[in-house]
Structure 1
């Protein structure tokens, strides 16, 4: 049972193809058939490779600057530098106060800081600032620490408690922290360590301050938090009496950087949403029409009849519209080619059937008669029919392979004037004493070169010249002319024959048209010459037309064929 007989009533052709699986049909004698493959299933939007590529590219283009902005290294360094400058200004003001109020002279030219006065002054000046102050003597010993309070019960160290953690981080929070860690990389800050008994040698900036400088340092504690510190010398009359070290955590810096990152993420989140929506819109405007074109092409390919057509997107005015127009034109050209093939096959069958019928009748008759004269006449008929068949088959073969030859061949530059001169010289040499006369009208100053195939254009002009010779009287004249008309080369071949019958100016180019002059032997021509000529000219981008030459009173004086070819 064939696929057509298995089709259920009411089942659409597209659904039937979608449910049909490719399989091998039963083998016949010397033949093998294959059931058409099913139509491809429609891709969902998320499964569209084109949609995924557009979305991926747009998201990557957005993520690259986002990751760069999240780094914020320069912004962080500028904040750290600003904090250190603020500490340095604060430290210099504090050191001036210490140098003027907390100094005592022990002997002539020798002064030193008073620890108790220094501690009291620190409590007054650093209240509610969050800054830790430490003062080191010239010997390197720690004189005072604002985070250590002295009382009757001994010393009490004041430490800032870390911020309270509100539960564990969510998955999104952990991903955010991991991304920040990956983007920021490893900070190359030295670790902050605080010995039980602190000395000036433990802090490099203090050593610099004792030497008269005001250096700053950035360190990281065990939890990864920043510790910013500066040291300034405590002087009196340019004499360095000790070093003041101010330090604070980098919470303000980290908070400012986090705020900036959150602002960036909010903006980038909105940009990401817009990018995704625009990506889907862009993919829809590209992928959806292409998908419709592909489905329509499959329906045209595997459907029956011509009820399916390619969607028309020419109003888009873009490349997809051009693709739609090209596919529609290609489909129309394929249908026209199929119609031409069917018509050509029907014409060939009809034209071959006539000589075959005559040949069969003559063969059947010659076997029954015994008269030698009648047998010779029948054999002559058989020979004419065989020649006619041979001529038909040769012309049909030439016409059938013409398209393939024209599509493969390489064009060259052809001088139409030289080609016409060669053809006229050839015919004049063969028919010098009999037949019509030839005249050739060419302008020497005009460039008559065209791109094409010399053999095939020569075949066109030979067919037209032969046709003119056939219809011209023996004393007639055949006029050939070529001239340039703008961007075209126009060639005309005219004769003094009876002309073309009324209403047959287009029909003469049809296949197997055989309107021949009276007295010509039947079957001498196949009727394909002008049809092949028109096919060759159109393949070269030109046109061929037939017209009659008439006197002012309307009397027909001959036929004229005009070939127009694009100039080089």
Structure 2
């Protein structure tokens, strides 16, 4: 199921390039036809059928909305503009007051109400005001003496190079109209009539608050929500306050500037949304599409198995070139599928081996039973009954070993590993099995380290391995032979060796002894073993991350073709 990295167009890519989306696909020869057809129909628009892609885009947009809403809600630029405008209008009011004070006589008394010493209206007509602003002059009693709306002011001169910001606020105006429309729907009493603002009433509230040396200002809104700034300050002659002057700004001038600033933020937001959606689609394609391929490949395999259609292996797309979790997932799925097929193949081979092994005793039983019906002599009948008994025992032993072997994988996964002293376990086994060797006249030698060697694993299963190796060694020995069990620690591993002085292992059998049902026993032991012991031992050792091998014992300078001095089985386990 090996694949190579290629783009959709089939061009080769260098390893230095950044690969996105569909760049990690297998070649057509190893990709399922259903997946290939699905990829051909796929586009960015098809991502709307992917819940994962929708979530990626939605959450990215929500983050953008929260950020922009926070900027608009906190409104730092409005606060800054308001402060600047408030400072400016206070300065303007004080400058206008200075103009009136400059027109007052130094020594003569001044009475603003009577017009003594200064013509308020004449001075007001000479002042140039911004469009929409107004000036009001009051006497010490708070009576209005002059109003710029009635008296008039000097015409405003045009300043070259000073332009008015005429930038469009289409998005902001549209949002404002939408808000007003929604407000109109929920507002009771029908639409409200437009309200006019009374700037004179605003300043009349400020004038009583003016004290010697003090300037008072306030910020108000008219009926349409436009902001108006008003300020009042005193008029002084020789340090004595003789009246008050008040000034109001044009309605909504600051709101227009704020609207322009908001428009810039919203325009940036629109551009950011477009970029975010584009990047989200690319990101979603690099995540959702490969995951969809992996899921589809698994579904194709499931549907085939369910419907018994198009037999073949499930081909998981090879995305292992991706340096991320999807690449890891692809590798894990491919490894899992490969392990599953290996297990299926092993089970099929195991079933075939079991059938083959069972046929032999069954054939012997069938022959013995058929012969039993025709023989007349008692000694022949006794012999046939003995054969039948041996075949039944062999079948019973074979079925028990097969049952144990078939359950081994699941039991190795379910059982909990523990840390234990390997030397103590092997020492107990050698003490017990040494008695069995002595009964057969076989010398038993145990050479184990005094210090403990701790490993992590399944103590019972590893004990099964060493029992099998030691009993096998004893079974191949005759009276006067010897069995030696020794162990040594080597850095990060421990070696446990079982040696015997038996006939050794035929050279051609060294690579076969760990196969299932392979058995080459001494004369007189045929049928006593199922041939699964060493296969089970190998499976247990490898499940613990170890290795096991068999070899013949020969002197160092001996001819490789000479007769061996015995057999040696070595088990290496990680410490």
TM bucket normalised to smaller: 0.7 to 0.9
Which of 491, 504, 507 pairs up with 2:512? 507
Q: Could you say which residue in structure 2 is the equivalent of 1:257?
A: 258
Q: Could you say which residue in structure 2 is the equivalent of 1:532?
A: 536
The number of residues matched between the two structures is 499
* TM-score, normalised relative to structure 2: 0.80
Please identify, of 130-139 and 336-345, the stretch whose mean Cα deviation from structure 2 is larger: 130-139
Q: Could you say which residue in structure 2 is the equivalent of 1:267?
A: 268
Contact 1:103 1:113 in 2 (8 A): no
SS of 1:510's partner is coil
Answer yes or no: is 1:224 the counterpart of 2:232: no
Q: Could you say which residue in structure 2 is the equivalent of 1:51?
A: 53
Q: Distance in 2 between matches of 1:114 and 1:103?
A: 15
Q: Distance in 1 between matches of 2:544 and 2:424?
A: 18
Q: Could you say which residue in structure 1 is the equivalent of 2:237?
A: 236
Which of 69, 79, 85 pairs up with 1:77? 79
Contact 2:227 2:253 in 1 (8 A): no
Q: Deviations over 1:234-284 (max 9, x none)?
A: 111222221101101243312221221122122222222111111111111
* TM-score, normalised relative to structure 1: 0.81
Please identify, of 253-262 and 539-548, the stretch whose mean Cα deviation from structure 2 is larger: 253-262
Equivalent runs, 1:331-346 vs 2, <5 Å:
331-346=337-352
Q: Deviations over 1:106-158 (max 9, x none)?
A: xx9673355582112112113555420011111221110000149xxxxxxxx
Q: Could you say which residue in structure 1 is the equivalent of 2:375?
A: 369
Answer yes or no: is 1:461 the counterpart of 2:461: no
Change in 2 beyond 3 A, CA 1:181/1:416: farther
Answer yes or no: is 1:550 the counterpart of 2:554: yes
Q: Could you say which residue in structure 2 is the equivalent of 1:325?
A: 331
Change in 2 beyond 3 A, CA 1:181/1:458: farther
Q: Could you say which residue in structure 2 is the equivalent of 1:27?
A: none
Q: Could you say which residue in structure 2 is the equivalent of 1:39?
A: none
Contact 2:485 2:499 in 1 (8 A): yes
Q: Distance in 1 between matches of 2:122 and 2:293?
A: 85
Change in 2 beyond 3 A, CA 1:179/1:528: farther
Which of 493, 502, 507 pairs up with 1:497? 502
How big is the shift at 1:72?
5.4
Gaps of 5+ in 2: 1-31, 38-43, 153-168, 183-194, 305-309
Equivalent runs, 1:132-151 vs 2, <5 Å:
132-149=134-151
Q: Could you say which residue in structure 2 is the equivalent of 1:437?
A: 443
Contact 1:102 1:114 in 2 (8 A): no
Answer yes or no: is 1:406 the counterpart of 2:407: no
Which of 382, 385, 402 pairs up with 1:396? 402
Q: Deviations over 1:41-90 (max 9, x none)?
A: x9930121111111112112222221122235332233222222222222
Contact 2:219 2:229 in 1 (8 A): yes
Q: Distance in 1 between matches of 2:503 and 2:88?
A: 113
Q: Distance in 2 between matches of 1:238 and 1:104?
A: 11
Q: Distance in 2 between matches of 1:544 and 1:305?
A: 37
Equivalent runs, 1:138-287 vs 2, <5 Å:
138-149=140-151, 173-175=173-175, 177-178=177-178, 194=198, 203-209=204-210, 212-287=213-288
Q: Could you say which residue in structure 2 is the equivalent of 1:479?
A: 484
Question: 4+ residue runs of structure 1 moved beyond 6 angstroms?
Answer: 13-16, 169-172, 179-182
Contact 2:131 2:250 in 1 (8 A): no
Contact 1:220 1:227 in 2 (8 A): yes
Q: Distance in 2 between matches of 1:474 and 1:456?
A: 30
Change in 2 beyond 3 A, CA 1:433/1:377: closer
Q: Distance in 2 between matches of 1:357 and 1:43?
A: 67
Contact 1:192 1:227 in 2 (8 A): no
Q: Deviations over 1:372-427 (max 9, x none)?
A: 22111111111111111111011011101111111100011122211121111112
Which of 348, 354, 358 pairs up with 1:352? 358
Contact 1:133 1:245 in 2 (8 A): yes
Change in 2 beyond 3 A, CA 1:181/1:220: farther
